[in-house]
């Protein structure tokens, strides 16, 4: 299918699901679809591809991003930028089909599930090599083991990955995502005394190598969605010897050992990164695309990136708001509209007054006019959200039946109940956004709404911006209270198509990250019950209740859900690509028509 038609179809499917949800009886939707990954930034400032100058030799694409890669460690990465790169330089246990979003073989050729749903056995390929790429010479060679034999990916590499993900010393957000499902992992990850853990404790984690090419995962309960988690980077095989040798620096170019379709050729932090095709990767697994080299430059903003696109120097680009209408008029055939199921929100710090008060959190959420923001500021590029999980996620509630949403009367009343009528006596607070023009407009709109609907002087809401990586560090659950902002922007794109990936992996109080610093309550008990419940109808009812308890009138409001992103992207006609809804963008399935590129650039 032509990529442009596919993107438009995705958008239409999302909109159709919204209409069906609005007209349906009051029961949760049960479609499945979704997008990559984890915490997301909506700077509108990221694009992944394209070089238009060289049509001889290696097929090269050149792209831009407005941020560096935060981390290339599969067990540590928690952001879209990192996950997209990891998808290309490491193989995973399974993968997602771009057209169907179904789980398909990758390192595992097949798998079996026990009758009780507790044991998953994966049968692995025996021909995926571990490789080292020399960024100076450009040579890629196969790594050898301690005995001098060529090293291939084995079940032991996946065992090492899972046990490492359960290590409390790693400090990984996604450890808490994996831990509840994997038998023995939570006991290690949340051990009262991590220093007292022994090798036996790690050996008790529910992952074993049956033989060199068979790995078995034992679950703590029959999680019906576990297979959809197996393409996740957190479970990807790792080169333990390289990690032992270099420590945290093992991911740097010149140190890193990988096993994916591409190798890391260059990573100049904050400036540029590039990947080259891995010549030793099995041909039948190498992907359908023709891209040999992908180079991404870090630029200051979308406007810079879009200028590169207009000059034909990158394949794709975000479109600055000021340029959007002109772009749609001038380049209708080189415009995609992508619904990626990422939901963006303004989060609150429970450990800093006044947002330790649920009424204040409710007031600030209900005072935000989502529909006007999407229509006027984002120029229609989104859908207003009243709760967290979007349509297309299994057991997500109907989009307009759960959650308070925009209600200025209730907002003013809640703030008065909290002791701040018309914002009188309200302290100065900080709203931290990630860098980018789009984010600045988002938080300035919030500042204006809170002034209009709550009576809060804009000077009470101090706006700051940081890089995405710095924002994640500033808002980490481990950060000192006095160093944390009162509010911050963030987004979540799905890692797998189940509601547990939303309220469970983001809001459950037992998550190791717990950015809001929530204390556990009865809603968390429901989250645990919902993920362990085998009856899908019961799960659907529980998730509806959970979302209402978080985001309905009188709810807890850990954050204010704002919008589901549906973005316009500039994409040259010579570039054929499909963004992944889950697991990371698959550069190995992208193609450039070099003849068309040469003709169009003349």
Question: Angle 14-16-17 (CA atoms, 0-180°, nearest 5)?
Answer: 65
For the chain, what is the mean pLDDT?
Answer: 90
CA distances from 300 to 42, 241, 271 (A): 15, 37, 10
Which of these, 61, 51, 585, 69, lies nearest to 298 by C-alpha position? 69
The total of other beta-carbon atoms located within 10 Å of residue 23's CB is: 9
Place of tokens 């309905």: 552
**pLDDT confidence of residue 53:** 41
β-strand pairing of 429-434 with 575-576? unpaired
Contact assessment for residue 401 and residue 386, using Cβ atoms and an 8 Å cutoff: no
Cβ-contact 103, 271 below 8 angstroms? no
∠ Cα 405 409 411 (to 5°): 60
| pLDDT bracket for residue 100 (50, 70, 90) | confident
Look at the block and give the residue holding tokens 């140190």: 255
Q: What is the pLDDT of residues 230-273, one digit of tens each?
A: 999 999 999 999 999 999 999 999 999 999 999 999 999 999 99
DSSP sequence for 349-381: -TTSTTTTSHHHHHHHHHT--HHHIIIIISTT-
- How far is the C-alpha of 176 from the C-alpha of 189, rounded, in Å? 8
pLDDT of residue 46: 44
Query: What is the per-residue pLDDT across 497-534, written as a single tens digit (0 to 9) for each?
Result: 899 999 999 999 988 779 999 999 999 999 999 999 99
Q: State the sign of the Cα–Cα–Cα–Cα dihedral 336, 374, 464, 404.
A: negative
Fold of 339-565: Dipeptide-binding Protein; domain 3 (3.10.105)
Q: At what angle do helices 536-551 and 522-532 cross, to 10 degrees?
A: 160
Tell me the mean pLDDT in the region 356-368.
Answer: 98
> Does 379 score more than 70 pLDDT?
yes
Mean pLDDT of 318-342: 93
Question: How many separate helices (H) and strands (E) can be counted in the chain?
Answer: 18, 23
Work out the pLDDT band at 20, boundaries 50, 70, 90: very low
With a cut of 70, say whether residue 14 has pLDDT above it.
no
Q: What are phi and psi of 270, to 5 degrees?
A: 75, 0
- Do the beta carbons of residue 124 and residue 236 sit within 8 Å? no
Secondary structure (DSSP) of 45-111: --B-----S--SSS-EEEEEESS--S---TTT--BHHHHHHHHHHS--SEEE-TTT--EEESSEEEE
Q: What angle do CA 328, 81, 162 make, to 5 degrees?
A: 145
Please report the pLDDT score of residue 468 as a whole number.
Answer: 83
pLDDT > 90: what percent of the chain?
80
pLDDT at 550: 98
Residue 119, Cβ neighbours under 10 Å: how many? Answer: 16
Domain coordinates in residue numbering, the chain: 92-127+154-236, 339-565
- Taking phi over 0 as left and psi of -120 to 50 as alpha, with beta for the rest, 49 belongs to left
Share of the chain above pLDDT 70, in %: 91
54-72 pLDDT, tens digit each: 446 899 999 999 889 999 9
Who wins on pLDDT, 513 or 156?
Answer: 156
Q: How many alpha carbons fall within 13 Å on the CB side of residue 304? A: 13
Q: Which helix (H) or strand (E) holds 584?
A: none
Six-digit token string for 223: 């999680």
CA torsion sign for 508, 509, 512, 517 is positive
Instruction: Output the pLDDT for position 39.
Output: 64
Asked if 13 contacts 275 with a C-beta cutoff of 8 angstroms, the reply is no
Give the residue with greater pLDDT, 438 vs 371: 371
> What is the pLDDT, as a whole number, of residue 238?
97
**Weakest-pLDDT range from 18-22, 56-60, 452-456, 583-587:** 18-22
More confident residue, 267 or 322: 267
pLDDT at 392: 85
pLDDT digits (tens, 9 = 90+) for 388-412: 999 989 999 999 999 999 999 999 9
What's domain 92-127+154-236's superfamily in CATH? Dipeptide-binding Protein; Domain 1 (3.90.76.10)
pLDDT tens for each residue of 531-561? 999 999 999 999 999 999 999 999 999 999 9
Mean pLDDT of 112-118: 96
Residue 467 is predicted with a pLDDT of 87
Q: Are 563 and 385 in contact (CB under 8 A)?
A: yes
**159 backbone φψ class: left, alpha, beta (φ>0; ψ -120 to 50):** alpha
Specify the pLDDT at position 42.
59
Residue 275, φ and ψ in degrees, nearest 5: -125, 145
Tell me the per-residue pLDDT of 447-471, one tens digit each, with 9 for 90 and over: 999 999 999 999 999 999 998 889 9
- Tell me what pLDDT residue 182 has: 98
pLDDT at residue number 199: 95
CA distances to 214, 494, 579 from 71, rounded to whole Å, are 29, 19, 21
| Least confident segment among 52-56, 100-104, 279-283, 293-297 | 52-56
> What confidence score (pLDDT) does residue 41 get?
60
Place of tokens 């600030």: 364
Dihedral sign of CA atoms 382, 388, 393, 396 in order: negative
């Amino acid at each position: 299918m032509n990529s442009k038609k596919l993107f438009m179809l995705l958008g239409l499917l999302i909109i159709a699901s919204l209409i069906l949800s609005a007209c349906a009886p009051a029961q949760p939707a049960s479609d499945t679809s979704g997008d990559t990954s984890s915490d997301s930034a909506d700077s509108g400032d990221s694009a992944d591809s394209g070089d238009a100058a060289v049509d001889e030799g290696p097929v090269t694409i050149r792209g831009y991003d407005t941020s560096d890669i935060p981390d290339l460690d599969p067990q540590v990465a928690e952001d879209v930028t990192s996950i997209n790169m990891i998808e290309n330089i490491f193989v995973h246990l399974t993968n997602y089909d771009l057209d169907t979003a179904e789980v398909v073989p990758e390192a595992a050729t097949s798998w079996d599930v026990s009758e009780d749903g507790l044991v998953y056995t994966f049968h692995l390929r025996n021909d995926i090599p571990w490789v080292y790429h020399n960024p100076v010479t450009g040579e890629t060679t196969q790594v050898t083991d301690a005995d001098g034999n060529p090293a291939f990916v084995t079940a032991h590499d996946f065992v090492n990955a899972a046990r490492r993900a359960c290590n409390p010393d790693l400090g990984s957000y996604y450890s808490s995502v994996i831990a509840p499902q994997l038998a023995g992992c939570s006991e290690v990850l949340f051990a009262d005394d991590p220093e007292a853990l022994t090798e036996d404790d790690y050996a008790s984690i529910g992952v074993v190598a049956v033989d060199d090419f068979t790995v078995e995962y034992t679950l703590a309960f029959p999680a019906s969605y576990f297979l959809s988690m197996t393409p996740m980077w957190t479970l990807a095989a790792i080169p333990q010897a390289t990690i032992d040798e270099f420590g945290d620096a093992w991911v740097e170019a010149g140190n890193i050992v990988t096993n994916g379709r591409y190798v890391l050729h260059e990573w100049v932090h904050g400036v540029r990164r590039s990947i080259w095709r891995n010549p030793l990767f099995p041909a039948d697994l190498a992907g359908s695309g023709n891209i040999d080299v992908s180079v991404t430059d870090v630029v200051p903003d979308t406007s810079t990136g879009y200028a590169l696109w207009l000059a034909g120097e990158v394949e794709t680009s975000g479109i600055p708001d000021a340029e959007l209408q002109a772009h749609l008029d001038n380049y209708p055939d080189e415009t995609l509209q992508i619904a990626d199921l990422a939901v963006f929100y303004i989060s609150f710090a429970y450990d800093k007054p006044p947002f330790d008060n649920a009424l204040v959190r409710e007031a600030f959420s209900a005072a935000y006019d989502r529909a006007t923001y999407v229509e006027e500021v984002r120029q229609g590029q989104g859908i207003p959200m009243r709760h967290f999980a979007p349509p297309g996620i299994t057991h997500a509630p109907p989009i307009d039946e759960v959650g308070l949403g925009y209600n200025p009367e209730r907002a003013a009343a809640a703030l008065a109940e909290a002791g701040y009528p018309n914002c009188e006596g309200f302290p100065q607070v900080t709203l931290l956004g990630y860098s980018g023009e789009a984010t600045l407009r988002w938080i300035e709109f919030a500042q204006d709404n809170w002034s209009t609907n709550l009576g809060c002087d804009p000077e009470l809401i101090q706006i700051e911006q940081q890089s995405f990586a710095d924002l994640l560090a500033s808002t980490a659950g481990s950060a000192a209270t006095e160093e944390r902002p009162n509010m911050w922007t963030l987004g979540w794109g799905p890692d797998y198509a189940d509601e547990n990936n939303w309220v469970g992996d983001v809001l459950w109080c037992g998550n190791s990250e717990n950015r809001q610093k929530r204390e556990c309550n009865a809603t968390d008990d429901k989250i645990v019950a919902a993920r362990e419940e085998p009856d899908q109808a019961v799960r659907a009812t529980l998730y509806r209740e959970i979302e209402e308890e978080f985001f309905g009138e009188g709810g807890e409001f850990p954050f204010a859900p704002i919008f589901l992103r549906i973005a316009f992207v500039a994409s040259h006609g010579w570039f054929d690509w499909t963004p992944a809804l889950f697991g990371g963008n698959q550069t190995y399935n992208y193609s450039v028509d070099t003849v068309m590129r040469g003709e169009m650039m003349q």
